[in-house]
Amino acid sequence: MKYLIFDFNGTVIDDVDICIDCENKTIEKYKLPRGPLTKEEYLHLFTFPVKDYYTRVGFDWNKYSYEEVGEYWFKQYCSKKDEYKVFDGVVDMLIKSRELGYKNILLSASDLNELKSQIKHLKIEQYFDEVLGIDNIYAGSKVNVALNWIKDKNPDDCLMIGDSLHDKDVADAMGVKCVLVSKGHQAKDVLLLETDNVVDDIREVQI
């Protein structure tokens, strides 16, 4: 193996509770008929692209624009920067990967500039050889970014670590192996519907 590919939100950083709080503030702002999301509801509703998730929650795009709602949510999320934290075991894995001679790749559906700002704030930027994100804040698909990166690589040299079925979809598109960690943005039973390669903690991933 030559490359470890890490998803960011829910894999490298533990931000599920932050996201739920931001989501409930957004639900309240736009006066959706439903009440606040519980964590259990969130983990079973969340999906990619994120616009589809918002539809599941109850947003009517005839009443609001996705861009407006997304920008409001993103503003709430950025205001909680000091609450971001890296999952236990992640830094140790990044260091071990380097010691084994691998390159650490960060691949996210986050805006690239924001992603770089976050890892700098978390003091983990030095552990990544490449940081790959998208060009907006609306959390669409990272498939195109991934395919552009893999085109001159051997998929057999790569392992992707994520927390959502979108990460599996991205890995499948690249033709690389994938392990999902069930501490992130989708419930373990949701992950197991599509793959058996699920662990409860990133420290269980064999590299």
pLDDT tens over the chain, length 207 residues: 999 999 999 999 999 999 999 999 999 999 999 989 999 999 999 998 899 999 999 999 999 999 999 999 999 999 998 899 999 999 999 999 999 999 999 999 888 998 999 999 999 999 999 999 987 544 456 888 999 999 999 999 999 999 999 999 999 999 999 999 999 999 999 999 999 999 999 999 999
Q: How many domains does one find in the chain?
A: 2
Residues 93 and 193 reside in one and the same domain: yes
Q: How far apart are the first and last CA of the chain?
A: 8
pLDDT for residue 190: 98
Residues 95 and 172 reside in one and the same domain: yes
Cβ pair 183, 193 in contact under 8 A = no
Residues 108 and 63 reside in one and the same domain: no
Checking phi first, is residue 108 left (phi over 0); if not, alpha (psi -120 to 50) or beta?
beta
Measured in whole angstroms, how far is the alpha carbon of residue 92 from the centre of its chain?
19
pLDDT for residue 136: 53
Surface-to-core class of residue 4, CB atoms within 10 Å of its CB (0-12 exposed, 13-18 middle, 19+ buried): buried
Give residue for tokens 């994520």: 162
Q: What is the Cα–Cα distance from 163 to 152, expressed in whole angstroms?
A: 25
Structural domain harbouring 33: 16-82
Residues 63 and 160 reside in one and the same domain: no
Residues 101 and 167 reside in one and the same domain: yes
Classified as helix, coil or strand, 130 is: strand
- Which of 84, 91, 46 is CA-nearest to residue 182? 46
H-state helical runs in 12-132: 16-29, 39-45, 50-57, 66-78, 90-99, 112-121
- Which of 92, 143, 133 is CA-nearest to residue 9? 133
**pTM as predicted:** 0.93
pLDDT for residue 141: 64
Q: Residue-wise over 173-186: b if at least 16 C-beta within 10 A, else e?
A: ebebebbbbbbbbb
CATH of the domain at 139: 3.40.50.1000
Q: Count of CB atoms within 10 A of residue 55's CB? A: 15
The helix/strand count (H/E) of the chain reads as 9, 6
Any idea what the Cα angle at residue 174 is, between residues 86 and 54, rounded to 5°?
Answer: 60
Residues 99 and 126 reside in one and the same domain: yes
